[in-house]
Structure 1
Amino acid sequence: MGLPGVADKKLSIFLGKFCPDPAAILAALERTKLCTELDFVPGESICRQGDRVDGCWLVLEGQIEVRADEQVVVYRGPGEIFGEQGLVHVLSGKTGTRTADVKAVGPVKLLRIDASFQERLDDKEKVAWTLTLADVINEKLEQATAMRSGLRSSATQHELLLRRFSEGDALGLVKIAASGKQVSIQNRRAIILFSDIAGFSVWSTSKAPAEVARHLGALAGIQINAVRDGGGHVDKLMGDGAMAYWFVDSGEREKCEPIAALACVRKIASVCKAYFEQHGLPLGLRMGLHVGDVSFGDFGAENRIAVTLLGAAVNTAARYEQAKSPDIGDIRISPTLRELMLSAGESPNTFRGPTKVEVKHGVELDVFSI
């Protein structure tokens, strides 16, 4: 066919498994030109429940998740097709609509076969195509039959548990890893936030463990809730510190996430300050933010899932939080992120600086602060 190598190979493998006459269908696709390669960004919707049936998709690279009733029904990976049931409805003369939501889990490449392809087939080709779709549906029915009614409840409880440890895109990757599948490392761009409660270690040495835990839990809750309300994701809690992030790897996200992240840290600073004053705690809160390219994925081991961000940008964000100087405020922002915030509409008057500050290993940073 005239398709790129990956698409041609995956399509040939798929047809070899399900189609009684692969050569006929490959020739028909070449003749009609009704298949297209499409790329989807992480979290992007591919189709929604109730949409008109206008084709089906073969997964070439990445993972998609199929959701119904706000629960994940199944994942589909390379070499698997989805949306075929709607085409069977169309073949039978019915007006089909989608029965589930489908979205990308990480970057996804698909081969879309338009529904009108079926109308261009001669009788022999139509029989081969119909049998292909029927064989796919039969295999999926067999897979569904193998499940027990108790699995639905078990899956719900499993997802609720996972949501206690991860969220957003990370949750999708954790679920893939938990199913035993390999999680691909993604190249993303993100705003990274590190926070630390200044003076907490010294203060806590003379306090009862229960009191320390009570305040630590309350302060962690303030930060977690603010990040989630601001559309961000909590990566981890580290003693009296936290790490969070906002992905900014699309034009739309670059317009809104920098302002959301700034509003979030302002809220955290304000609420934590009020908490310190209310409880008479001699503490402060430092936050450092930077934006840059990161690797996102499961960096754990065989028996340990650890979905997180890694890269130089993460280390740099941590250094902004750790910077010490009487000339900077509690919210420290890198020049790169400041420029992104200004592009998103933030006023230059919001920021003080830059101030040169020396951090670990003699590295100097230009620090803007609030």
Structure 2
Amino acid sequence: MTPDPIEDTPIPAPRRPLGARLGRVRGRAGLTAAGAALLLLVGAGNGLLLAWQSTVQHRITHTLSVDRILMQVLADLLDSETGQRGYLLTGDPAFLVPYTAGQARIAAELPLLETELGRSPDQAARLAALRPAITRKFAELDRTLALDRAGDRDGALALVRAGEGKTEMDQIRRIIETMRGQEDDLLMGYQQHAHRIESMVGIGSIVSIGIMALLAVLALREAGRRAALSRFLPAELTPLLERGGSLDQGGGLRLGERRHAAIAFVDMRGSTAIAERADPETVAILVTGFRRCVAQAARENAGVIDKFMGDGALVVFGVPEARADAAAQALAFASRLEALVAEWNAGTGEAPVRIGIGVHCGEVFVGVVGDDDRLEFTVLGDAVNVAARIEQATKTFGATTLVSQAALDAARVTGAEWREVSRQALRGRQEAFPIYGRAA
């Protein structure tokens, strides 16, 4: 609040009688007592707000934990299926390791989901449908392996080609996507609560002594968060700490925030076939080389690698600090990665590695999930899902890179560099969705 220049200007006053001066002293004492009482009231109010904030934070962490477990269940199931397919095609027992490991991990993860979702009847019902679907999927995988052990590998492969397992896998994906969708809706509501709490705490902090106390607490918490972030932030984000930047940009990484960003999904094509015919050491060298290309392209274009997923990667642009050129950086990343992979292929002398890249822009959730012993920077939201589906479309249209209209608009791309390849709706959506590939 701007001080009133008239009220703040000292004006000489005539000498008052003793009684009047005693009255002023008593008035100041009363104001002091009132100020102390107000500070106590503000402190109590801030204490309640902080307790509420802790509850909301716990709910946010819980929601993100459920989403992480759901993603891990699907990933483990895919690992098991890949191991089964690899074993049937090659006969190499090494492929049974991810198959059995995936089964074991899912057996441990489903009880965790049951505990986390016990208070949500809708999610508990979906989990009740998910369990038998997974059981049927593993039964289908086990039948093929049983046929192979009985000496009927052709029969096992014929059962795989029949497509029963694909139907089960599609059902499992639908259930998991529905469950994740509800958790995302809950997350958005919790975020709104968190931002309201922050606003109310800010109003209470107007009291001068409260501001001093709050600043001291926030300084300590800031130092603690900065020390914690140094353990888990991707390497691309460490300059933020070195510059002394706030760890609460736009609402706080620990609570999370909604941010407009550009997303690039990358996938290495044909990795399953390569794994089937190559030894594990060759596969490891291949994946390592691919990841080095992704890391270099991301580093050169201010991209943050949210995570590597086997032979794929999720790269984000415009976080943790918003950037107007995030979409342009994502497109530049795609071009640079194509060039790096081409150089890599030329130097190996082996069969060329092919990749698919999907680029999209939109609103995402950016935040830190986990507890103090294991924290992780992550990006979630519909824009991430759309980028993944665009990347999957590169297989359909035989393109290396496909981008959305939103990405091109945000990057302000003009000219004939990109041409429209499709206006079909993406999988799981009904509306037309134009996507673009590089013009020949």
Indicate which of 254, 262, 267 corresponds to 1:183. 254
Indicate which of 296, 307, 315 corresponds to 1:225. 296
Measured in 1, the distance between the counterparts of 2:259 and 2:318 equals: 7
Tell me the residue number matched to 1:239: 310
Shift of 1:249: 9.8
Measured in 2, the distance between the counterparts of 1:214 and 1:260 equals: 28
Q: Name the % identity.
A: 21
Indicate which of 399, 412, 418 corresponds to 1:351. 418
Shift of 1:282: 3.5
Indicate which of 275, 278, 302 corresponds to 1:204. 275
Measured in 2, the distance between the counterparts of 1:348 and 1:282 equals: 31
Tell me the residue number matched to 2:60: none
Tell me the residue number matched to 1:277: 346
Alignment of 1:369 with 2:437, yes or no, is yes
Indicate which of 295, 301, 312 corresponds to 2:365. 295
Query: Which of the pair is proportionally richer in strand?
Result: 1
The one-letter code sitting in structure 1 at the alignment partner of 2:269 is A
Measured in 1, the distance between the counterparts of 2:379 and 2:32 equals: 46
Alignment of 1:336 with 2:406, yes or no, is yes
Residues 298 and 305, structure 1, Cα contact 8 Å, conserved in 2: yes
Measured in 2, the distance between the counterparts of 1:324 and 1:234 equals: 21
Q: For residues 242-300 of structure 1, what are the alpha-carbon distances to aligned partners after superposition, in whole Å with 9 as ceiling and x for unaligned?
A: 001112899x822x222222111100011112212321233201100111111111344
Measured in 2, the distance between the counterparts of 1:322 and 1:310 equals: 18
SS in 2 for 1:191: strand
The one-letter code sitting in structure 2 at the alignment partner of 1:337 is A
SS in 2 for 1:360: coil
Residues 359 and 403, structure 2, Cα contact 8 Å, conserved in 1: yes
Measured in 2, the distance between the counterparts of 1:182 and 1:247 equals: 14
List alignment gaps of at least 5 residues for structure 1: 3-19, 28-61, 63-106, 115-128, 144-150
Tell me the residue number matched to 2:284: 213
Q: 1:325 to 1:24 in 2, by over 3 A?
A: closer
Measured in 2, the distance between the counterparts of 1:368 and 1:183 equals: 36
Shift of 1:327: 4.3
SS in 1 for 2:399: coil
Alignment of 1:1-370 (within 5 A): 21=32, 161-163=231-233, 167=237, 183-247=254-318, 253-254=323-324, 256-279=325-348, 280-300=350-370, 304-324=374-394, 327=397, 329-342=399-412, 346-357=413-424, 359-361=426-428, 365-370=433-438
Residues 203 and 282, structure 1, Cα contact 8 Å, conserved in 2: no
SS in 1 for 2:389: helix
Q: 1:275 to 1:184 in 2, by over 3 A?
A: same
Measured in 2, the distance between the counterparts of 1:159 and 1:300 equals: 12
SS in 2 for 1:184: coil
Residues 191 and 258, structure 1, Cα contact 8 Å, conserved in 2: yes
TM-score, normalising length: structure 1: 0.52
Residues 364 and 380, structure 2, Cα contact 8 Å, conserved in 1: yes
Count of paired positions = 242
Measured in 2, the distance between the counterparts of 1:187 and 1:329 equals: 31
Residues 199 and 282, structure 1, Cα contact 8 Å, conserved in 2: no
Q: For residues 62-88 of structure 1, what are the alpha-carbon distances to aligned partners after superposition, in whole Å with 9 as ceiling and x for unaligned?
A: 9xxxxxxxxxxxxxxxxxxxxxxxxxx
Measured in 2, the distance between the counterparts of 1:299 and 1:190 equals: 19
Q: For residues 143-162 of structure 1, what are the alpha-carbon distances to aligned partners after superposition, in whole Å with 9 as ceiling and x for unaligned?
A: 8xxxxxxx99xx98x77653
SS in 1 for 2:302: coil
Residues 299 and 305, structure 1, Cα contact 8 Å, conserved in 2: yes
The one-letter code sitting in structure 2 at the alignment partner of 1:286 is G
Q: For residues 317-338 of structure 1, what are the alpha-carbon distances to aligned partners after superposition, in whole Å with 9 as ceiling and x for unaligned?
A: 1000001456452111011111
SS in 2 for 1:316: helix
Measured in 1, the distance between the counterparts of 2:416 and 2:278 equals: 41
Measured in 1, the distance between the counterparts of 2:296 and 2:36 equals: 53
Q: For residues 206-258 of structure 1, what are the alpha-carbon distances to aligned partners after superposition, in whole Å with 9 as ceiling and x for unaligned?
A: 212222112211210111121122112110000010001112899x822x222
Q: For residues 109-149 of structure 1, what are the alpha-carbon distances to aligned partners after superposition, in whole Å with 9 as ceiling and x for unaligned?
A: 768x99xxxxxxxxxxxxxx8xx69x969x89xx8xxxxxx
Larger Rg: 2
TM-score, normalising length: structure 2: 0.44
SS in 2 for 1:306: strand
Measured in 2, the distance between the counterparts of 1:159 and 1:308 equals: 13
Q: CA RMSD in A?
A: 4.9
Residues 232 and 377, structure 2, Cα contact 8 Å, conserved in 1: no
Measured in 2, the distance between the counterparts of 1:301 and 1:269 equals: 37
Measured in 2, the distance between the counterparts of 1:160 and 1:184 equals: 17
Shift of 1:310: 1.1
